[in-house]
Amino acid sequence: MFKLVRGALGGGLEPLDQADLALREGRPLDAGRVLHSLRGAVGVLGAKRLIQATLEAESAIHEGRADQLEAQLATVRRVLEQTLAEARAWLEQEDR
């Protein structure tokens, strides 16, 4: 379990930065793939809020709801930050 959590923490916010960049460069499908991969990597921890947030952002991308993307990605970033903080806290507690 420790290896799984550490692996999920390894990427940090980098995947979300990649998705942001892809959207700014006009590559929404690439952003969707990054979000999908993020959900798989961190979702394995059972992070239901993160799973839901990435699904909603992917849906906005695939449905062409560009007006909602900035808010959706901000939500994913906030939830990812919370998830990573909770995972780090769990690791610190378990390593004692």
What pLDDT, on the 0 to 100 scale, is given for residue 78?
Answer: 95
Q: What is the pLDDT of residues 7-61, one digit of tens each?
A: 777 788 999 999 999 999 999 999 999 999 988 887 777 789 999 999 999 999 9
Look at residue 57 in the predicted model and tell me its pLDDT: 95
**pLDDT tens digits along 69-85:** 989 999 999 999 998 89
What is the DSSP code string of the chain? Answer: -HHHHHHHHHTTTHHHHHHHHHHHTT-HHHHHHHHHHHHHHHHTTT-HHHHHHHHHHHHHHHTT-HHHHHHHHHHHHHHHHHHHHHHHHHHHHHT-
pLDDT at 87: 85
Q: What is the pTM of this model?
A: 0.86
